[in-house]
Structure 1
Amino acid sequence: MRIAVTGSIATDHLMVFPGRFADQLMPDHLDRVSLSFLADTLEVRRGGVAANIAVGLARLGLRPVLVGAAGKDFADYDAWLRETGVDTGSVRVSETLHTARFVCTTDADQNQIATFYAGAMSEAKHIDLAPVAGTAELAVIAPDDIDAMLRHTDECRRLGLPFAADPSQQLARLDGEQARRLVKGATYLFTNEYEAALLQERTGWTAEQVLQQVGTWITTLGPGGVVITRQDQPPLNVPAVLTLTPGDPTGVGDGFRAGFLAGTGAGLSLEPAAQLGCVLATAVLESVGPQEYKLGAVELLHRLERTYGVAAAVEIEPALAGLS
């Protein structure tokens, strides 16, 4: 399956604070916060939601097309993505701006405080999706410049290209009309639990009304796994693949999306596709950096079997045939 992944391409600056953010916050003074967290470590890693998803798809044997805007410093990152199996021919490279930056601090409870600098991502609104629509079977509309997200969603509807809506971090910046426009007609809608509530607040729709607009709504629940909802169907709950060795949560949701979409692209039904997404998400969680994880078919199958049983692992195994 050929998937075009639109969205952010970034460099991640990941820091770890050994304490708890909650211990530093004073409930009576949240309107005047002035805090500084002394981090123990700093890791600089390749990132960006679209790039993270594309790398996950490539590692599972697909040849995704990355559609986004990067900066004049993109050459090394570009070479690494192409070596990994990502088609970067549709990436717009800015002549003046740097690649976007994601600066994030994670505390001992895996809570995160982050700042995102858009940089070259602001030029993504100039990218035309039509050149890749002829060969793609699905487009992912991941967090990006908002005008770019709206443009690409409209293009998908105009071109008849099925799309997955993944507004996530950009939901807070959308007005009601924009949020409704990004969701309407999506084959898949991805949110986490907080974003699910925020989406309803932004759109003014109830959960049932959201389901009238999309094919399948996938909501990630962290350690609680995933719930998949469809109109007039009972919810489908898929438990997470738990770990005793968490590393950094950055990119975990992107890993889930890559695994899920690779699974559906390989012909799996929703439940085993979500199980594959969960095992990939845990692989990301156990590393530092959203693209640093290693995948091996034998280990993935063992983890699938331990969590979901032998029958599930046997069903999913053919989807790992192209694992790189």
Structure 2
Amino acid sequence: MTQTRFDVLTIGNAIVDIIVPVAPGFIEAEGMTKGIMHLIDTDRAEDLYGKMPATRQQISGGSAANTAAGVASLGGRAAFVGKVADDALGDVFDADFNDIGVHYTTSRLKNGALTARCMIFVSDDGERTMNTYLGACQQLTEQDIIEDEIGAAAITYMEGFLWDPQEAKKAFVLAAHYAHKQERATAFTLSDPFCVGRYRAEFLDLMRSKTIDYVFANVHELKSLYETDDLGEAVRQVAKDTEMAAITMGAEGAMVVHNGEVTSVPAFPIDHVVDATGAGDLFAAGFLLATARGQSLESALQTGCLAASEVISHIGARPLVALDGLVEKHGLAG
């Protein structure tokens, strides 16, 4: 077995989040529907980006990328695989991961689509209107999956959104193969109920074929996977289909189903939820790192819930404080 270099390696869509406050009337003038996420093409992406002021906040994003950042903030050894273009926003993504200590070496896309971006316009009432251009992140291929990197990670974690592009789907399966070749664990998140709806049969096959060892989901995604409104029934089904399933339940905390047994913990209390974006991603970071380090399932759940509680207490999908300090403060295993 290859020596472990990374606690967690994540694979997913590499997206730069660009956040900017806008004046009243801007959303309507640009033909957007307030509070909605719009998928846009290259021309629209360039047009909107050009209209954003230089004071815009730009930070690397994407579900699995947020999880990698969370692992690093918790003091873990994190790596990320995802595609950006050879352009200015690709530079932003690369520099950001370098700054936070996430290993990131995926080759840039040249002479093709632009780096993916999610342009988030914040109205004066706090409402967020998003415009997402997927671009280069959907160009991930098997050539981007490096066997030595995958084999050196205790756990390889992937996002369900990778299942949309055909070539990325192949990369997903190859990464799982490389991980198992080195007797490492694989994990994925169901990502979104609509994603589950598109690929329910294929996701179940990934689990039942043991391509994936650990599954992450929220209550809505899990119910969608098993086409039931009964959480208990969904839990009974997932217990049969996978070695381990970690399920987030919002204000009710989280549970893990392992070898047919359920362990649950309450959520960490906060004054109020400011922005739920990234909660599942940061929960996964805490749970994965604790699991990679051989901690108990209860400790893994608590670390995940603690990380999630920090990120929902402010705007943005990345922690504003070092999570390893929070873990220490709450007496959880580091």
Equivalent position of 1:322 in the other structure = none
Structure 1 counterpart of 2:72, one-letter code: A
The 1-side partners of 2:314 and 2:272 are apart by 9
Q: Is the 8 A contact 1:150 1:182 kept in 2?
A: no
Q: Is the 8 A contact 1:286 1:293 kept in 2?
A: no
The 1-side partners of 2:172 and 2:323 are apart by 34
> Residue 71 of structure 1: SS of its match in structure 2?
coil
2:221 alignment partner, one of 190, 195, 212: 195
The 1-side partners of 2:307 and 2:95 are apart by 24
Equivalent position of 1:7 in the other structure = 12
Equivalent position of 2:39 in the other structure = none
CA RMSD of aligned residues (A): 3.4
Equivalent position of 1:46 in the other structure = 60
Equivalent position of 1:30 in the other structure = none
Correspondence 1:181 to 2:205: yes
1:88 alignment partner, one of 104, 110, 132: 104
Where do 1:15-26 residues align within 5 Å?
none
Q: Which runs of 5+ in 2 are unaligned?
A: 23-30, 37-55
The 1:149–1:167 alpha-carbon spacing in structure 2 relative to 1, beyond 3 Å, is farther
Q: Is the 8 A contact 1:171 1:198 kept in 2?
A: no
Tell me the CA shift for residue 182 of structure 1. Answer: 3.3
Structure 2 counterpart of 1:220, one-letter code: T
Equivalent position of 1:135 in the other structure = 152
1:77 alignment partner, one of 81, 84, 93: 93
Which shows bigger deviation, 216-225 or 291-300?
291-300
* TM-score, length-scaled by structure 1: 0.76
Where do 1:132-171 residues align within 5 Å?
132-146=149-163, 147=166, 148-149=168-169, 151-157=171-177, 160=180, 161-169=184-192, 171=195
Where do 1:1-324 residues align within 5 Å?
2=6, 3-13=8-18, 36-37=33-34, 44-72=58-86, 73-89=89-105, 91-95=106-110, 96-103=112-119, 116-126=132-142, 127-146=144-163, 147=166, 148-149=168-169, 151-157=171-177, 160=180, 161-169=184-192, 171-172=195-196, 174-184=198-208, 185=210, 186-201=212-227, 207-233=235-261, 235-295=262-322, 297=324, 299-302=326-329, 304=330, 313=331, 316-317=332-333, 319=334
Structure 1 counterpart of 2:150, one-letter code: A
The 1:97–1:301 alpha-carbon spacing in structure 2 relative to 1, beyond 3 Å, is same
The 1-side partners of 2:300 and 2:135 are apart by 34
The 2-side partners of 1:106 and 1:180 are apart by 38
The 1-side partners of 2:256 and 2:294 are apart by 17
The 1:159–1:220 alpha-carbon spacing in structure 2 relative to 1, beyond 3 Å, is closer
The 1:193–1:98 alpha-carbon spacing in structure 2 relative to 1, beyond 3 Å, is same
The 2-side partners of 1:193 and 1:285 are apart by 18
* TM-score, length-scaled by structure 2: 0.74
Tell me the CA shift for residue 289 of structure 1. Answer: 1.6
Structure 2 counterpart of 1:195, one-letter code: E
The 2-side partners of 1:299 and 1:62 are apart by 14
Tell me the CA shift for residue 75 of structure 1. Answer: 1.2
Report sequence identity in percent: 24
Q: Is the 8 A contact 2:58 2:92 kept in 1?
A: no
> Residue 201 of structure 1: SS of its match in structure 2?
coil
